[in-house]
Chains A and B, each alone.
Chain A
Amino acid sequence: MDIELRGISKRFGPVQANQDINLEIRAGEVLGLLGENGAGKSTLMNILSGLYSADTGEILIDGSPAIFTGPGDSIANGIGMVHQHFMLVPVFSVVENVILGVEPTSGVDYLDLEAARAQVQEINTRYGMEVPTDALIEDLPVGIQQRVEILKVLFRSADVLILDEPTAVLTPQEVEEFFTIVRALRDAGKGIVFITHKLHEILEIADRVSVLRQGQIVGQGDPASFSEADLAEMMVGRPVSFSVGRAESTSGDTVLELAGVSLFDAAQDARLVDINLSVHGGEVVGIAGVQGNGQTELVEAITGLSAVTTGEIGFAGQDITRASVRQRHRMGVAHIPEDRHKSGMVGNFTVAENMVLNSYYDESVTSGVQIDWRRVHARAAAACLSYDVRTPSVFLGAGSLSGGNQQKMVVARELERDVRLIVASQPTRGVDVGSIEYIHRQLIACRDRGNAVLIISSELDEILDLSDRIYVMFEGRIAATFDNRGGGADRNAIGLAMAGVSQGTNPGAGRSGNRGSAA
């Protein structure tokens, strides 16, 4: 099934999100869609999936015009979208989630789960997805949940799949597995639209690429004829440098120090085991590791969101082991959370309100018990400008910003403050190459002002590019430490340590004991 978009335009208030866009999606092809944050990629795909209606333009399916009035119409026409935000019921099983809304019934209203399971299983094996069909969603890792979303659209007999930034939440290993599935789908004749901000992924998997900027197509063609730098320049309109120049750091006093920190969860499983870690002023420390090896818990322990079970946390010479989130925030700890939707922002609040989400009580924006909104607004506007958060107004609901701009808003809020320590968890998730460059420069600038920066990222490139020192986490422990001043760390050795193979420079590294029982 081939799809053609002709002259699509869509306007949101003052923002022209799409302007006269022509795009072809062909069966058996992966179309890569690139574009800076707010370029209009998600909007265009939401139009194609019937969620929004275009102001002008038409959609042709195999040459004949189609009119969609809602998401139901597009899936009936064989177009399915996997949103960046999963829409799954956590307490339902995979099969139940897949069939939700299109349950096969026999008799009056008898749910024929067996037939459904067989059908889901068939799709599952055909494309090599390896999803445990009877598991509950809440027990599955993000990468598998995403496959459930893909199963959902395939179950509804989609011939065209739209994947909006599917790899943003995946670990590099999961990305490889994901690509295997995408290739299987393509070879089965499905048309696929793949949105991403990672240029190498486009080069790896896309058969064609289209680049959007400010709502318009600014280039398309065969990815083989472009380099990453070409694509980046096309997206942003200027040359982008992929790695920040990082001068030699002058490391100062210890700002953050964790001594023997362990953390047990409610089920008494050890999440962190005997963590010893320090971050000095004027230093960027990176935490590498496959997601789910204790990074989240480490960040929660440092920021005060979780109480540690044993051990001590020191901050600028003070013991903050028992300090509250707010006390730490006031003392100068900034926190860019790993999942902006879960904790970093409130979609129904305005951009301005989000800019003071965790500092609304601070004297600088209050008078007595009141929040001084005029000051908040002015400050938010200034932050939006300096961090290039693309919004027509600070009064716009943050939920209607593009995904990358939401992330930039969160980053702006945390970096704009005068702080001593920045804990940045996946700081550039969903952000375009131009803005990644900017955010990285800001993090380095913070370091150069003598502050401590702790970066947690599943992107090893990001860690290697920014960090002066690197800790690798594995199963809740520090498995290895590496010195990366001057970029000297051994990428392979880090990779091995991430996989739990004893290799690191740290004598205590690589104890790959069972999580939970060892402590």
Chain B
Amino acid sequence: MSGEARSSGPAMSPDMKALLVPAIDSRSSWRELFILPLAAMFLAMLIGALIMMATSVAPETILQSFIAMAHGSVGSIHAISETLTAAIPLVLAGLGIGLAFRAGLFNIGAEGQMVVGGLAAAIASFLVTGLSIWLHLPLVLLVGLAIGAVYAAIAGLLKAATGAHEVISTIMLNLISIRLLDYMLRQPFIQKEGRSDPISKAVLETAELPRILEFLDGNLRLHAGLFIMLAAVAVIYWLLFRSKLGFAFRISGENPGAARYAGIRAGLTIVMAMAIAGALAGLAGAIQVSGVLGRATPGFTAGIGFDAIAVALLGRSHPVGILLAGLLFGALEAGGRQMQVDAGVSIDMIGIMQALIIIFVAAPLLVRRIFPPLFRERPRGGEENG
């Protein structure tokens, strides 16, 4: 508490100190961020079990499938590696969606931004040759990031200049990106030699994200994208809550009238927020190509850009929340695969449960009704503060 009174003139009075004590009971935000999603997950699993029962899956198989899910997501070093690998692109793209959302924009286009970013990264990964990994890998990732940013900025520009709604334009850009991918993959300079189906050349070794657990077991797929993801969480947190730009984003998202009043240029803010969102999605695409897939193929993004919307929602557009939500979805993904193998329950069940979790999180009142003791408010207030 010392040294900050510089600009505030006189030494701090007791009244002033009182004003500087955080007011809000931190438990309510804790409830929102952790207990609510956990309760939602529990409910989703319950309904998942009911569905399985209704389709006459034997109770022991249901139990087995949940055990398999736990096992496949966190039960072994391999499972953890798979969970984290799946979480990386989800968190990255989710951060972009969350950031855009904070600025008042619904970026439905993460999928398309991942596609163009990943495709561009793939091209840069085999067309550019003769570089060391220290130059080539960053170049490839940056290309993915930049192309994703430009692609999303198109939607931003359209909105800023003409008022075209970003939901419509990003959906259209998604469609374009998917066709563009198929088209490009057949171009001779991209298509793998000797193949007639659309598939790109392989990523050069100097452009591959190194696997970080290889020293334990050559099969562990977890790659260095993990560190990029963690860094991105920190950077986006800083951007949103510490930087001037992020403050402008948040004002614009909360109250456009106040943003105008504060002299924030709406058009510029829209384009910037979309570009940053697209950069993160593009980076996610590049990381998938360079760290996991090793090439670009039709549909290589596998709907991650859409799942990331759910991750951003579940994480309440908060970087830490998105990290946790991404990890949860990664775990469900990895666990679901195990479930299919061990218990023969289709991985579709995981999709259903993911969707149910979102529904329950989106309807907190419902969860509160079902588990009143978890959310019982002591006679106090502060409920207005989301």
For residue A380, which residues in chain B have a CB less than 8 angstroms away from its CB?
19
Whole-angstrom distance from the CB of A366 to the nearest CB of chain B? Answer: 6
Q: Are B263 and A391 in contact (CB under 8 A)?
A: no
Q: Determine whether the beta carbon of A379 is less than 8 Å from that of B258.
A: no
* Residue numbers in A under 8 Å from B23 (CB-CB): 13-14, 391-393, 395-396
Pair A11/B19 contact, Cβ less than 8 Å: no
Decide: A385 near B15, CB < 8 A? Known: A348-B386, A393-B20. Answer: yes
A78 contacts partner chain B, Cβ-Cβ < 8 Å: no
Interface residue count on the B side (C-beta < 8 Å): 42
A interface residues, tally (CB under 8 Å): 53
Tell me the complex Cα distance, A384–B380, Å. 23
* Inter-chain contacts of A391 with B (CB < 8 A): 19, 23
CA gap between A195 and B243 in the complex, in Å: 41
Task: Say yes or no: A12-B258 contact (C-beta < 8 A), given A375-B8, A395-B22, A395-B23.
Answer: no
**A394/B257 in contact, CB under 8 A:** no
- A496, CB-defined interface residue at 8 Å: no
Within residues 6 to 40 of chain B, which ones have a CB less than 8 A from any CB in chain A? 6-9, 12-13, 15-16, 18-25
Binds B, one of A26-34, A116-124, A172-180, A353-361: A353-361
A335 at the interface (CB under 8 A from B): yes
Q: Which of B69-77, B192-200, B247-255, B286-294 contacts A (4 or more CB under 8 A)?
A: B247-255
Is B382 engaged at the interface, CB distance under 8 Å to the other chain? Answer: yes
With both chains docked as a complex, state the minimum distance between the C-beta of B243 and any C-beta of chain A, in angstroms: 5
Alpha-carbon gap, A385 to B10, bound state (A):
13
Answer yes or no: A23 CB below 8 A from chain B CBs.
no
Q: Are B251 and A357 in contact (CB under 8 A)?
A: yes
Q: Mark B147-164, 1 if CB is under 8 A from A, else 0.
A: 000000000000000000
A12–B382 touching, CB < 8 Å: yes
Is the C-beta of A168 less than 8 angstroms from some C-beta in chain B? no
Determine how close the nearest CB of chain A comes to the CB of B163; give it in whole angstroms.
13
Query: Cβ of A329: which chain B residues have Cβ within 8 Å of it?
Result: 263
Q: Which A residues are CB-close (under 8 A) to B15?
A: 385
* A399–B30 alpha-carbon span in the complex (Å): 20
Q: Contact at A394–B258, with CB atoms within 8 Å?
A: no
Cα distance, A132 to B298, chains bound together (Å): 60
Q: What chain B residues lie within 8 Å of A62 (beta carbons)?
A: none
Residue B379 interfacial (CB < 8 Å):
yes
| B260/A393 in contact, CB under 8 A | no
Check A11/B254 contact, CB under 8 A, given A348-B386, A369-B243, A377-B20.
no
Which of B244, B250, B254, B262 has a CB less than 8 Å from the CB of A358? B262
Give the residue name and chain of the A residue nearest to B239 (CB).
A369
Judged by a CB distance under 8 angstroms, whether B165 is at the interface is no
Interface hits, A136-191 → B, CB 8 Å: none
Residue of A305, A366, A369, A397 near B261 (CB, 8 A) is A305
Q: Does any Cβ of A come within 8 Å of B5's Cβ?
A: yes
Q: For the complex, what is the distance from the CA of A269 to the CA of B2, rounded to whole Å? A: 57
**With A and B bound together, what is the CA distance between A380 and B23 in angstroms?**
14
> In whole angstroms, what is the CA distance A325 to B16 when docked?
32
Shortest beta-carbon distance from B215 to chain A in Å: 38
How far apart sit A396 and B261, CA to CA, in the bound complex (Å)? 22
Interface residues of A in 418-475 (CB under 8 A from B): none
B:184-212 near A, CB below 8 Å: none
Q: When the two chains form their complex, are residues B7 and A13 in contact, meaning their CB atoms are under 8 A apart?
A: no
B260 touches A305 (CB 8 A): yes
A160 to chain B, nearest CB (A): 25
Asked if residues B244 and A370 are in contact (CB atoms below 8 Å), the reply is yes
Option from B25, B242, B384 in Cβ contact (under 8 Å) with A397 = B384
Structural contact, B384 and A55, CB atoms closer than 8 A: no
Q: Are the C-beta atoms of A343 and B261 separated by less than 8 Å?
A: yes
> Does B245 lie at the interface of the complex (its beta carbon under 8 Å from any beta carbon of A)?
yes
| A342 partner, pick from B12, B20, B254, B257, beta carbons under 8 A | B257
B263 to chain A, nearest CB (A): 3
Name A366's contact: one of B18, B244, B263 (CB within 8 Å). B244
Q: Which residues of A contact B380 (CB under 8 A)?
A: 11-13
- B9: chain A residues within 8 A (beta carbon): 382
Q: A344-B261, A378-B7 are in contact. Are A393 and B242 (CB under 8 A)?
A: no
In the assembled complex, the CB of A256 is this many whole angstroms from the nearest CB of chain B, namely 18
- C-alpha gap A357/B251 in the complex (Å): 8
Assembled-state Cα–Cα distance A208/B69 (Å):
68
Residue from B6, B12, B19, B25 with most neighbouring chain A CB atoms (10 Å): B19
Chain B hits for A357, CB < 8 A: 251, 258, 261-262
The yes or no answer to B130 lying at the interface (CB within 8 A) is no
A371 contacts chain B at the CB level, 8 A cutoff? yes
Chain A nearest Cβ from B371, distance in angstroms: 18
Q: How far is the CB of B246 from chain A (nearest CB, A)?
A: 9
Indicate if the CB atoms of B244 and A400 lie closer than 8 Å.
Answer: no
- B258-A378 in contact (CB<8A): no
Q: Is the CB of B19 within 8 A of A400?
A: no
B96 to chain A, nearest CB (A): 20
Known contacts A13-B381, A337-B261: does B19 contact A370 (CB below 8 Å)? no
- Report if B385 contacts A (CB, 8 A): yes
A269–B358 alpha-carbon span in the complex (Å): 48
Q: Which residue of chain B has its CB nearest to the CB of A358?
A: B262
Q: Which residues of B contact A370 (CB under 8 A)?
A: 238, 242-244
**Bound complex: CA of A12 vs CA of B258, how far in Å?**
27
0 or 1 for each of A461-503: is its CB under 8 Å from B? (1 = yes): 0000000000000000000000000000000000000000000
A14 cross-chain contacts in B, Cβ below 8 A: 23
Q: Is B60 among interface residues, defined by CB-CB distance under 8 A?
A: no
CA distance A342 to B257 in the complex (A): 6
Measured between alpha carbons, how far is A11 from B254 in the docked complex, in Å? 28
Contacts of A349 in B (CB 8 A): 250-251, 254
Q: How far, in Å, is A13 (CB) from chain B's closest CB? A: 5
A394 and B255: CB pair below 8 A? no
* Chain A min CB distance to B269 (Å): 13
Q: Which residue of B4, B12, B238, B248 is within 8 Å of A375 (Cβ)?
A: B4
Q: How far, in Å, is A506 (CB) from chain B's closest CB?
A: 31
Other A-B contacts than A325-B263, A349-B251, A364-B7, 13 sampled, CB-CB below 8 A, are: A13-B381, A304-B263, A342-B255, A343-B258, A345-B255, A345-B258, A347-B255, A360-B248, A369-B244, A378-B8, A384-B19, A395-B22, A399-B384
Task: Enumerate the 9 nearest inter-chain pairs by beta-carbon distance, A residue then B residue, closest first.
Answer: A12-B381, A393-B23, A326-B263, A325-B263, A358-B262, A343-B261, A381-B19, A343-B257, A397-B385
By a beta-carbon cutoff of 8 Å, the part of chain A in contact with chain B is: 11-15, 55, 304-305, 324-326, 329, 335, 337, 342-349, 353, 357-358, 360-361, 364-366, 369-371, 373-375, 377-382, 384-385, 391-397, 399-400
Interface residues of B (CB under 8 A from A): 4-9, 12-13, 15-16, 18-25, 238, 242-245, 247-248, 250-251, 254-255, 257-258, 260-263, 379-382, 384-386
> Can you list 17 residue pairs at the A/B interface with Cβ under 8 Å?
A11-B379, A325-B262, A335-B261, A345-B258, A349-B251, A369-B245, A371-B244, A375-B6, A377-B20, A379-B8, A381-B19, A385-B13, A385-B19, A392-B18, A394-B19, A397-B24, A400-B385
